[in-house]
A and B are shown apart, each in its own frame.
Chain A
Amino acid sequence: MAIDARHVSKSFANYVALRDVDLHVEQSELIALLGPSGSGKTTLLRIIAGLDTPDPNPATAVVVDGQDILDRRASERRVGFVFQHYALFRHMTVFENIAFGLRVRPRKLRPREPELRRRVNELLDLIQLGRWSTHYPSQLSGGQRQRVALARALAIEPSVLLLDEPFGALDAKVRQELRRWLRSLHAKIAVTSVLVTHDQEEALEVADRVVIMNEGRIEQAGTPDEVFHNPASEFVVTFLGNVNLFHGRVDAGRPVLSPNAHGQTARVFVRPHELEIERYQSNGASVAARIQRIQSAGPIVRVELASDHTNPITVEMTHERYHDLTIKTGETVFVKVRDARVFAAKI
């Protein structure tokens, strides 16, 4: 069900977490709220869930499925919530954890025991933890616990699913697996989902749409492709992966790194893979730099360079290109821009 949060602001005693934020999530969409810590993404999630209340403002609304749920208690919102640190009930077995949402229902709405068992077992199958049903959370690995937490949230057939840094406490490998698993799960059950994360890779990989937040505001919202290739602001460029910053000039619409170039001064952001290294200066647009370090273990080769005219530079290239160039640490080479994002200089 679609979520529509309008004019949401939230201030705490000594800082402002959200500044008049509007967020729209389509039916069955999985969006990622991406931003550094303190950007307000978790606060927004908690407000949708009903765990926090927004600053009073008559224009503020949180609409789910056409109904403003702002006046409803958290327990009446039927929201599935997954916490970073799982928040499983430590004194209950996996089975009882998942069954909890059904057992606390008022008598009239509570499923009978056989029906309840059937539904919990279905969810156990979904998370592939059927044989762990009698175990306690402390006996499970982090990845298993988070899957239980997810099943528990799904047991109440939530109208929306909210995930607060769900993979934040897991190690890199498990994280990868769970991301893919979540993606395929979402394809299967298609519940409208909001995922909060500070990991840009995770957001770009998992989400249908990414909403990038900074200092209580939404900087940009769009598909992973849109935000990565057409970032709307400096913040978005710098936050989505590594970038090189040059205080260069723009000559006839093309960024030029060379110090003696003409044109309007600008801040030029270039991703490491959009830079090219050449042995000889092909034209005036490139800049001389000395190779400091070459890191060739991994799918790509990363070269760090120092230049008298710019900040330190990072260039990424394929192994093929690296072999063709036959560059070594300590050599002086020329760096040229293939593609860049230009933002007018701020004074």
Chain B
Amino acid sequence: MALVSRRPHSEPVWMRTLFIGASVAFVGLLILLPVISVFTEAFRKGFSFYLASISDPLAMSALRLTLITAAVTLAANLVFGLAASWLIAKFSFPGRNVLLSLIDLPFAVSPVISGMVFVLLFGAQGWFGGPLARHGMQIIFATPGVILATIFVTFPFIARELIPLMQEQGAEEEEAAVLLGANGWQTFWRITVPNIRWALVYGVVLANARAMGEFGAVSVVSGHIRGRTNTLPLHVEILYNEYNFSAAFAVASLLALLALVTLIAKAALEWRIRAEERPAVMEHALEEVV
């Protein structure tokens, strides 16, 4: 159907070639080529060197810190993102627009400045740094600082995905659920969450990618202590600055692989959710045919 109706409006061949060619060239040059070059550079000195580079204790500790940071960040932002979106999309209250702007703040501010803010707050000379240090708690140049800075930078991703969708969906389904006798908890888990699961998955993937790849803010608060406060991106930079290119790219490829795992996890989840919905759709399609 779509094919038949579309043909009369079809663009001329040269125009189609131009647009498709430009898109392919753009994606190839700016996205595909860099990814390929990461892997070729990583394997330049052979597979054993690659293995040695990524199994290096310093690289492993950077990997561990990156994974811990991403996990904590995601958990925190999931809770915050859901709560904030729910609040902003379904209710109107004084200060709603202020909250909306605050959520966007991390996008507007340079990551380096975000890092500096935490140094100012929690550093040895900072507002809270002194009192906390007296209780034996170190934030800056330690794992908590890295996590705090990452949470701050990735703060808007999930909320920003959810708010427009939740606003578009409105509150009617929730109202219907409440009128049918559902309590707040039931309404949230049975109505709200299922309706936003796609946006939620997408927001989590984006936030995760950024959490694992964040450089600027983390660079300021981490102090680059090898084996302790280095995340993977920081470790890559150090190796690169030491002219250890192959090792740098090997560790970089590890980051690329993590991204790949994230994408696969997302695809698998999408596939599972679709599979749940499929039977009825199939049946409907059959009925249409008959």
Q: Which residues of A contact B (CB under 8 A)?
A: 49-51, 73-81, 83, 85, 87-91, 93, 100-101, 104-105, 134-136, 139, 149, 152-153, 155-156
What mask results when residues 151 to 184 of chain B are scored 1 for a CB within 8 Å of chain A, else 0? 0000000000000000000001101111111110
Main secondary structure of the interface of A (DSSP, over half): loop
- A83 touching B283 by the CB < 8 A rule? no
A81 with B179: CB separation less than 8 A: yes
Asked if A136 and B180 make an inter-chain contact with CB atoms under 8 angstroms apart, the answer reads no
Q: Could you tell me if B180 and A49 are in contact, using CB atoms closer than 8 angstroms?
A: no
Whether A89 contacts B181 in the complex (CB less than 8 A), given A134-B280, A139-B284, comes out as no
> Does B194 make an interface contact (CB < 8 A)?
yes
A-B contact pairs, 10 of them (CB 8 A): A51-B175, A51-B178, A74-B175, A75-B182, A76-B181, A77-B179, A81-B176, A91-B195, A105-B181, A149-B176
Once the chains are docked, how many angstroms separate the CA of A91 from the CA of B190? 9
Q: B277 at the A/B interface (Cβ < 8 Å)?
A: yes
Q: State whether A104 touches B179 (Cβ < 8 A).
A: no
Check if B191 is an interface residue, CB within 8 A of chain A: yes
CB distance from B212 to the nearest CB of A (A): 31
CB of B283 within 8 A of CB of A100, answer: no
Binding site for A on B (CB under 8 A): 172-173, 175-183, 186, 190-191, 194-195, 277, 279-281, 283-284
Q: How far is the CA of A81 from the CA of B179 in the complex (A)?
A: 7
Q: How far is the CA of A121 from the CA of B81 in the complex (A)?
A: 39
Complex formed: what's the CA distance from A100 to B183 in Å? 12
Most buried by A among B175, B176, B181, B284: B181
- B281 surroundings in chain A (CB, below 8 A): 136, 139
Give CA–CA (A89, B191) in the complex, Å: 7
A67 to B54, CA, bound (A): 72
Contact for A136 among B176, B181, B190, B280, CB less than 8 A: B280
Q: Please give the distance in Å from B91's CB to the nearest CB on chain A.
A: 13
Are B194 and A100 interface neighbours, CB within 8 A? no
Whether B280 and A74, one on each chain, are in contact in the complex, defined by CB atoms closer than 8 angstroms, is no
Residue pair A104, B176 in contact (C-beta under 8 Å):
no
A75 to B279, CA, bound (A): 33
Check A152–B284 contact: CB distance below 8 A: no
Q: Is the CB of B194 within 8 A of A87?
A: no
Query: A75–B181 contact, CB under 8 A?
Result: yes
Q: Are B180 and A100 touching (Cβ within 8 A)? A: yes
Task: Assess whether A75 is in contact with B173, with CB atoms less than 8 Å apart.
Answer: no
User: What chain B residues lie within 8 Å of A81 (beta carbons)?
Assistant: 175-176, 179
Closest to B180 in A: A101
**A74 with B178: CB separation less than 8 A:** yes
The answer for the CA separation of A76 and B180 in the assembled complex, in Å, is 9
Tell me the complex Cα distance, A139–B176, Å.
20
In angstroms, Cα B179 to Cα A74, docked, is 6
